[in-house]
C-alpha cells in the first residue's frame, strides 16, 4: 500500500511538471530559470525516488536527496525574484545550488544528513516571514503560504513515520503521507502559476 501511494504521488507530480512546461512562457524572464529548474528537478525526483526506494542504500540515496535540494533551491530563488528582484533571486540560485551539492557530498562522505535536513527547513521558516514583510508582485500569493504549510506537514509526517503507521493500523505510513503532502504542495504552486496575474510593476 505504501509503495502504491508513493508511486501515485510522484506520478502526479511528474504529470503536473509536464503540464507546467506548456505554460511557463507566461512567466517573466527572471523567473523562467528558477521555475523551469524547479519542475525539472521534481520530475527527476520521481525517478530518483523510485530508484532509491526499490533498494534503499547509501549509494542510491543521492538520487533521492539531490533533486529535492535542487527543487528547494530553485523554488526559493523564484520566490526571491518575485519579492526582492531578479538580481537577488538569480544570485541566490547559484549560491543555493552550490550549497545543495555540498550538502549531499557532505552527507555521502560523513554519513550525516543533518545539513541536508536543515537545508530543507529553510522554505518552511523563511518564505512565511518574507511573505509578510515583502509585498507580492502577483495575485494569489496566499498559495505560497499554503504550499509551505503542506511542505511543513510532510516533514512532520516523515518524522512521525512509525507512530502514524501504528496509529492507523498499518494502513499507510507517515512517510507515504509525506509524499502526498509534497505532491499537494506541487498542486498548489501549479495552480498559483496558472491563475496569478501581475498586481503592479516592480
| pLDDT range class, residue 22, cuts 50, 70, 90 | very low
What residues are paired with 138 via a beta bridge? 198
Report whether pLDDT(186) > 90: no
C-alpha cell at 188: 498548489
User: For residue 110, what are the CA distances in angstroms to 66, 81, 97, 103, 138?
Assistant: 16, 34, 20, 10, 42
Report whether pLDDT(160) > 90: no
Over residues 129-144, mean pLDDT: 87
User: For residue 20, what are the CA distances in angstroms to 12, 26, 82, 85, 202?
Assistant: 12, 10, 18, 23, 25
Q: What is the CA radius of gyration of the chain?
A: 17
Over residues 22-29, mean pLDDT: 56
Report whether pLDDT(98) > 90: yes
The alpha carbon of 30 is separated from its chain's Cα centroid by a whole number of angstroms, namely 19
Write down the mean pLDDT value for the chain. 81
User: For residue 97, what are the CA distances in angstroms to 14, 88, 103?
Assistant: 21, 14, 10
Amino acid at each position: 500500500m505504501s509503495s502504491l501511494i508513493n508511486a501515485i504521488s510522484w506520478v502526479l507530480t511528474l504529470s503536473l511538471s509536464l503540464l507546467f512546461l506548456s505554460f511557463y512562457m507566461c512567466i517573466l524572464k527572471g523567473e523562467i530559470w528558477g521555475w523551469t529548474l524547479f519542475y525539472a528537478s521534481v520530475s527527476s525526483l520521481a525517478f530518483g525516488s523510485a530508484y532509491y526506494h526499490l533498494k534503499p542504500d547509501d549509494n542510491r540515496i543521492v538520487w533521492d536527496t539531490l533533486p529535492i535540494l535542487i527543487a528547494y533551491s530553485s523554488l526559493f530563488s523564484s520566490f526571491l525574484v518575485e519579492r526582492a528582484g531578479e538580481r537577488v533571486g538569480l544570485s541566490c540560485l547559484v549560491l543555493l545550488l552550490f550549497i545543495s551539492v555540498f550538502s549531499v557530498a557532505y552527507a555521502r562522505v560523513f554519513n550525516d544528513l543533518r545539513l541536508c535536513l536543515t537545508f530543507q527547513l529553510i522554505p518552511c521558516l523563511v518564505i512565511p516571514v518574507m511573505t509578510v514583510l515583502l509585498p507580492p508582485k502577483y495575485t494569489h500569493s496566499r498559495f505560497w503560504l499554503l504550499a509551505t504549510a503542506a511542505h511543513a506537514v510532510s516533514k512532520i509526517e516523515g518524522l512521525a513515520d512509525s507512530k502514524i503507521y501504528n496509529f492507523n493500523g498499518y494502513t499507510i505510513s507517515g512517510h507515504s503521507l509525506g509524499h502526498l503532502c509534497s505532491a499537494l504542495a506541487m498542486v498548489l504552486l501549479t495552480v498559483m502559476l496558472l491563475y496569478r496575474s501581475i498586481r503592479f510593476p516592480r
